[in-house]
Amino acid sequence: MHDLLHFFTHISDEVRGIFLVGGLTLFLLLESSVPLFKMDYRKLKHAGINISFTIITLIVNIIGAALIFAAVQYNETNNTGLLNLIELPLWLHVFGGLIIMDLIGAWLIHWIQHNIRWLWKFHLIHHTDPNVDVTSGLRHHPGENIFRLLFTTLAVLITGASFGLVMMYQTISAFFAHFSHANIKMPLAVDKAFSYIIVTPHFHKVHHHFVQPHTDSNYGNIFSIWDHLFRTATYVKKMDDLIYGIDTHMNPEEHSSFKNLLMIPFQHYRPPIGSKFSDQ
């Protein structure tokens, strides 16, 4: 475990890039071999739109890295954060840090985005994708990335995580973004068994069903235990019943235009069917 933390403490941008591209390539190959759905769409164009959002995300993250590093330094200087309150075995220190960072830096902000209308309008771009595949995990509005960055920083401050632990969390998080969105078919029994602990492809796909209440469920990023604990976990008996997208933006001119996707948060709000938000 010491060696693993040391590796992530000194991980280079090039190695992180290899992990990102390698994971993307792996699941693209699996999508061709064992697809969950045989979707009729222009895969390259679809990937181009989603990857374009990633390029903007990288710019935001480069700026945000300084904020996260400042949080790490603050904890190290002041010996603050939950992980510094008590001496723990290293494996528990690492696991505890990962699971709490996942709660605050991913699950909590995700839940908030589904429950505050103006934040939902930014997150909506992720849900407009009618063809969920491995590249869909890259489809986030730059405004949403700022919110997530702030909550990741908050998670670092609360946990007191070291730089190596933060890098480990972000690398695992990127892997799960690919894994959970990938259009791959898993045996239902296997997927469901693992879904009580981690976010599996079938577990997350329910979150991308085009109408509520499925949309407002299964918020997990790495660990699904928070959804089970807070009773936001939902299952479907037949994956074939799922339809991706969001009912307010099913028009291809809206969900397949990069320019329009960027502007959605600033357009008139349209309440989804069964929405708790009004159109006022």
Q: What is the pLDDT, as a whole number, of residue 270? A: 87
Q: φ and ψ at 99, to 5 degrees? A: -70, -35
CB 273 within 8 A of CB 213: no
Q: What is the pLDDT of residues 173-196, one digit of tens each?
A: 999 999 999 999 998 889 999 999
Q: What is the pLDDT, as a whole number, of residue 279? A: 56
Q: What is the DSSP string of 194-230?
A: HTTTB--HHHHHGGGBSSTTGGGS---SSBSHHHHHT
CB 67 within 8 A of CB 166: no
CB-count burial class (<10 Å; 0-12, 13-18, 19+) for 17: exposed
Q: What is the pLDDT, as a whole number, of residue 55? A: 86
Mean pLDDT of 22-40: 92
Q: How confident is the model at residue 63 (pLDDT cuts 50, 70, 90)?
A: confident
Mean pLDDT of 8-36: 90
What residue has token string 């605050």?
104
Contacts of 13 (CB under 8 A, 6+ apart): none
* Calpha distance 134→196 (Å, rounded): 22
Rg of the chain, C-alpha, whole Å: 19
Contacts of 55 (CB under 8 A, 6+ apart): none
Mean pLDDT of 159-163: 95
Q: What is the pLDDT, as a whole number, of residue 225? A: 97
